[in-house]
Amino acid sequence: MEQIIHELQDMTHLSWAKARKSSGTAGSFLKAYEETSHGKVYYKLSNYDAWRGIIGHECVNEIIVDRLLTILGIDHLHYQLIHAKILIDQKEHETWMCASDDFKQRGESKIALDAYYQAERLPEESPLDFCLRAGWKKTIYEMLVVDYLILNRDRHGANMEVLRNPKQKTVRLAPLFDHGLSLLSRCESQAAMLHEDVMADKPVQCFVGSRSARDNLKLIPADERPQLQTLTVRDRDILLDGLSDALDSTWLNRIWEMIWRRWQAYENFCNP
């Protein structure tokens, strides 16, 4: 699959619906889907405001984080970035949107992790302990590291999903997905972006952890930290390749600075 489609695509046939509005985030996140010969494809937009239009760059974040997780060797949902013409409330917009395939396998159904936890937890069992008991230690610990690196603010209990196959009696945690509300997504102007402290430990949503992405690293026992592939300065070009049409290079450079500095801080955390 071509990861970035630069040529403008006519996607005005899609019907957009409001997705969950995250706490503290203005606007709405619109989603759509369609059935194709290869199965169901899901689409999503960056932050949309009825007056200002599409004002965010969360879809670009998805591609950057997709590439980052590939470099680090972490299982995740892959995204495609599409330059598209779309229709919202009978008004045409030219934008960049994300597409992803359905990660469910045949016979599987999905349920949000928070709902599954409420139904299956033991008395007094925390969400983290529940996930560890379920055998999802590797994914959870990798997620906590990634969410620190990108300062993911939106890992609520529905941004993690459990996939169940009743016939085969299997239960598994879905690969990591939905990383748009991270990096510099809260900056709505270049001035705000340039003044952002990329190392700040700002409040985050984390269903299995705390409001601090930095403190969540401490939930991982030192001898059980994920064995990740190393990020290097050469990976900058891989992360940002082909994205300058969708996001100004000043933003891209600042995003790389954020990822790289937080990676160095993580290495220092692991090797004090």
Tell me the C-alpha distance between 102 and 79, whole Å: 11
- Across the chain, mean pLDDT equals 93
Three-state secondary-structure class, residue 87: strand
pLDDT for the residue numbered 215: 98
The string of pLDDT tens digits covering residues 79-102 is 999 999 999 988 999 999 999 999
Q: Is residue 19 pLDDT above 60, yes or no?
A: no
Q: Is residue 23 pLDDT above 50, yes or no?
A: no
The string of pLDDT tens digits covering residues 188-245 is 899 999 999 999 999 999 999 999 999 999 999 999 999 999 999 999 999 999 999 9
Tell me the C-alpha distance between 263 and 150, whole Å: 9
**Closest to 108 (Cα-Cα) out of 57, 45, 170, 47:** 170
Tell me the C-alpha distance between 66 and 263, whole Å: 16
pLDDT for the residue numbered 29: 82
The token pair that represents 38 in the structure block: 């290869």
Q: Is residue 73 pLDDT above 80, yes or no?
A: yes
Q: What confidence category does residue 17 fall into, taking pLDDT thresholds of 50, 70 and 90?
A: confident
User: Rounded mean pLDDT of 11-16?
Assistant: 95
Return the residue matching tokens 């290079």.
Answer: 249
How many other CB atoms sit within 10 Å of the CB of residue 217? 19
0.85 exceeded by the pTM? yes
First-last CA distance in the chain: 41
pLDDT for the residue numbered 26: 34
pLDDT for the residue numbered 28: 60
Q: Is residue 10 pLDDT above 80, yes or no?
A: yes
Which of the pair, 89 or 23, is modelled with greater confidence? 89
- The string over 31-69, giving b where at least 16 C-beta atoms fall within 10 Å of a residue's C-beta and e elsewhere, is bbbeeeeeeeebbbbbbbeeeeebebbbbbbbbbbbbbb
Tell me the C-alpha distance between 59 and 98, whole Å: 6
Q: What confidence category does residue 141 fall into, taking pLDDT thresholds of 50, 70 and 90?
A: very high
Q: Are 61 and 179 in contact (CB under 8 A)?
A: yes
pLDDT for the residue numbered 38: 82
Q: What is the dihedral of CA 71, 76, 78, 81, to 10 degrees?
A: -80
Tell me the C-alpha distance between 264 and 272, whole Å: 12
Tell me the C-alpha distance between 203 and 233, whole Å: 28
pLDDT for the residue numbered 21: 41
Is domain 109-270 in CATH 1.10.1070.20, yes or no? yes
Q: Are 77 and 175 in contact (CB under 8 A)?
A: yes
Return the residue matching tokens 């748009």.
Answer: 180
The string of pLDDT tens digits covering residues 96-137 is 999 999 999 999 999 999 999 999 999 999 999 999 999 999
Three-state secondary-structure class, residue 144: helix
Return the residue matching tokens 């945690």.
Answer: 173
Label residue 111 exposed, middle or buried (CB < 10 Å: 0-12, 13-18, 19+): middle
Helix residue ranges per DSSP H, the chain? 58-72, 113-120, 127-133, 137-149, 190-195, 213-216, 235-240, 249-270
pLDDT for the residue numbered 145: 98
User: Rounded mean pLDDT of 154-176?
Assistant: 95
Q: Is residue 39 pLDDT above 90, yes or no?
A: no
Q: What confidence category does residue 18 fall into, taking pLDDT thresholds of 50, 70 and 90?
A: low
Q: Is residue 16 pLDDT above 60, yes or no?
A: yes
